[in-house]
Amino acid sequence: MTSNPDPNAVQDFDPEETLEWREAIDVVIERFGEDRAQHLITNTIAQAYEAGVQPQNVKTPYINTIPPGKQPAYPGNLEVERNLLRALRWNATAMVVRANRKPAEPGGHIASFQSSAIMYEVGYNHFWKGHEHPNGGDLLFVQGHTAPGTYARAFLEGRINEDQLENFRAEAGGDGLSSYPHPYLMPDFWQFSTVSMGLGPI
């Protein structure tokens, strides 16, 4: 279980002792769990501070703060959600691309939703509540440039139709979709104007 020491670390004049410390932590984790290991490490670091030893700032790659053994089972069906996510990403991209093949070339954002889609979908599927919920609904400040993804989801849910998707950023005709979250233009869809520097803070 003990990983190899960092080759870029300070020269270790007693690697055998270092290995013993590392193996000791492994044993604690195995026998008593992560909480006990964390307690020992925290107390050891505190004692080092008291003795005047200043540990280097800890900088690590991302580490999940919940040990795998304590993670609850995922509440949804991962395979179904992955397939839905693929459809959402595709539809969001297609909507922007198709809009810009028209003479007006209205623009639109693609990467914003592609990079944040998983976070939004986990929220929609498992956390956020609608206004009809017995405990009240959530207030969502949706990142404005991810609007194509929200429209793509609404299309799969049957809340908007294909004609509206074809009129992304073309509201003047009366049946389009606003560029960004806009509760004035789409009062039954958006809660907050999250892109406008004037309206958003209000």
Q: Which long-range contacts (CB under 8 A, 24 or more apart) does 135-139 make?
A: 139/191, 139/192
Residue 158 tokens read as: 């049957």
Q: In this predicted structure, what is the pLDDT of residue 83? A: 96
Q: Which residues pair with 168 in a beta bridge?
A: 177
CA distance 67 to 5: 22
Q: In this predicted structure, what is the pLDDT of residue 151? A: 92
Q: In this predicted structure, what is the pLDDT of residue 100? A: 81
Q: In this predicted structure, what is the pLDDT of residue 168? A: 84
164 alpha carbon, distance to own chain's centre: 28
Asked if 198 and 182 count as a contact pair (C-beta separation under 8 A), the reply is: no
Per-residue confidence in pLDDT tens, the chain, 202 aa: 555 555 456 788 999 999 999 999 999 999 999 899 999 999 998 888 888 887 676 666 777 778 778 888 889 999 999 999 999 999 999 988 988 887 777 777 889 999 999 999 999 999 999 888 999 999 988 888 999 999 999 999 999 998 888 888 876 666 788 888 888 888 888 888 888 655 555 4
**Residue type for position 24:** A
Residue-wise burial string across 18-52, b where 16 or more C-beta atoms lie within 10 A, e elsewhere = eeeeeeeeeebbeeeeeeebeeeeeeeeeeeeeee
H helical segments located in the chain: 15-32, 34-50, 78-99, 111-126, 147-157, 162-166
